[in-house]
Amino acid sequence: MTQAQTTLRHAVTCSGIGLHSGEMVQMRLHPAAENTGIRFRRTDLQGQNEIAADFRLVGATRLGTTLMDGDVSIATVEHLMAALWGCGIDNALIEVDGPEVPIMDGSSEPFVFLLECAGKREQQAARRVIQVLKPVEVSENGATARIAPGEGFSIGMEIRFPHAAIAEQKITYEIDGACFKKNLARARTFGFAEEVEQMRAAGLARGGSLENAIVIGPDKVLNAEGLRYTDEFVRHKVLDAVGDLFLAGAHIQGSVEGFRSGHGLNNKLLRALMADNTAWRVSGEKVPEVA
């Protein structure tokens, strides 16, 4: 059964620290017309200040996913994009008064709460669904990501880190909104204490803290409250993939598998899929080749 597109019922606002800038950011989410998709507007910039949530505009993937279009960029979009997918929001205009989406607690849960406060309303147009028709796989530096036909939307992810706090973790979920909210939304981003100074010297993670990330020390997790899930690390990687893949501009019907995959490989997978016009179609109709 074809589903209708949705948007927010009301505008809603939040504020928080930017993970990389360390500065306070205010963000306001507005309803948008059908077929708008998700768009960001930088209210701190003059002139052309909008950018689409589009996988083709991903320009940086170190420690997050950054959209770039000319002089307009918006960083760390993946947790918000995942929440929009999890709450079933197709169309929204997101105003941000800085260069990145606020990190909040490092998960999607605060954004899910925000979206639920805004409410949701159906629109007239049918939801755009990308159906995967054949397997596509990409790899780099020993990591792989693969997408194949499937009845719904599933993600399997495996990670391996040479640290006892993480080690090897592997999960697979058939994901819908309820599954996302219960099993993935609360999983936080993570990093290693020994890398913090290096990142800050490179102008990154200036706003990172125990309040918005899991921080891993030499032999343990440093957060006093511990983990929210025993396998929170791999769950967060799945959350990231949900957000990165929603940059396709549609809901994907297919099965995704990742081994040590991250933002860069997630985007590479989408680009490879969409570049092959025999590998996908939209809502039962074959689509033209992407330039």
Asked whether residue 267 carries a pLDDT value surpassing 90, the answer given is yes
Residue 291, in any domain of the structure: no
Q: Averaged over 243-267, what is the pLDDT?
A: 97
Asked whether residue 284 carries a pLDDT value surpassing 90, the answer given is no
Asked whether residue 272 carries a pLDDT value surpassing 60, the answer given is yes
Catalytic residues: 263
Residue 197, in any domain of the structure: yes
Q: Same domain, yes or no, for 111 and 254?
A: no
At which of 126, 158, 173 does a domain end? 126
Residue 89, in any domain of the structure: yes
Nearest-10 Cα torsion for 171, 283, 177, 227 = 30
**CB of 86 closer than 8 Å to CB of 108:** yes
Residue 289, in any domain of the structure: no
Q: Averaged over 1-21, what is the pLDDT?
A: 92
* pLDDT tens, residue by residue, 172-227: 999 999 999 999 999 999 988 877 767 767 666 678 888 999 999 988 999 999 99
At which of 85, 108, 126 does a domain end? 126
pLDDT value for 286: 41
Q: Same domain, yes or no, for 147 and 256?
A: yes
Residue 154, in any domain of the structure: yes
Asked whether residue 242 carries a pLDDT value surpassing 90, the answer given is yes
At which of 99, 126, 153 does a domain end? 126
Asked whether residue 51 carries a pLDDT value surpassing 50, the answer given is yes
Residue 122, in any domain of the structure: yes
pLDDT value for 1: 67
* pLDDT tens, residue by residue, 79-111: 999 999 999 999 999 999 999 999 999 999 999
pLDDT value for 41: 98
Give the burial string for 189-207 (b: 16+ CB within 10 Å, else e).
bbbbeeebeebeeeebbbb
- What distances in angstroms separate CA 122 from CA 29, 36, 119, 126, one per listed residue? 17, 14, 11, 10
Range of the domain at 177: 129-284
**CB of 134 closer than 8 Å to CB of 237:** no
pLDDT value for 208: 81
Q: Averaged over 14-20, what is the pLDDT?
A: 92
- How high is the mean pLDDT of the chain? 93
**CB of 289 closer than 8 Å to CB of 277:** yes
Q: Same domain, yes or no, for 134 and 272?
A: yes
Residue 72, in any domain of the structure: yes
Confidence of residue 290 (pLDDT cuts 50, 70, 90): very low
CATH code of residue 173: 3.30.1700.10
Q: Same domain, yes or no, for 62 and 134?
A: no
Q: Is the dihedral of CA 230, 78, 194, 186 positive or negative?
A: negative
Share of the chain above pLDDT 90, in %: 85
Asked whether residue 168 carries a pLDDT value surpassing 90, the answer given is yes
Q: Averaged over 261-274, what is the pLDDT?
A: 98
pLDDT value for 2: 81
Q: Same domain, yes or no, for 279 and 140?
A: yes
Asked whether residue 289 carries a pLDDT value surpassing 60, the answer given is no
Confidence of residue 22 (pLDDT cuts 50, 70, 90): confident
Q: Same domain, yes or no, for 147 and 263?
A: yes
Q: Same domain, yes or no, for 51 and 121?
A: yes
pLDDT value for 194: 79
Residue 290, in any domain of the structure: no
Q: Same domain, yes or no, for 265 and 207?
A: yes
DSSP 192-211: EHHHHHHHHHTT--TT--TT
Q: Same domain, yes or no, for 12 and 31?
A: yes
Q: Same domain, yes or no, for 183 and 121?
A: no
Count of beta carbons in the 10 Å neighbourhood of residue 183: 16
pLDDT value for 205: 66
Domains in the chain: how many in total?
2
19-23, 103-107, 154-158: segment of lowest average pLDDT: 19-23
State which amino acid sits at residue 152.
G
State which amino acid sits at residue 110.
P
**CB of 237 closer than 8 Å to CB of 54:** no
Q: Same domain, yes or no, for 236 and 136?
A: yes
- What's this model's pTM, rounded to 2 decimal places? 0.94
Q: Same domain, yes or no, for 83 and 195?
A: no
- What distances in angstroms separate CA 238 from CA 6, 110, 154, 235, one per listed residue? 24, 17, 10, 5
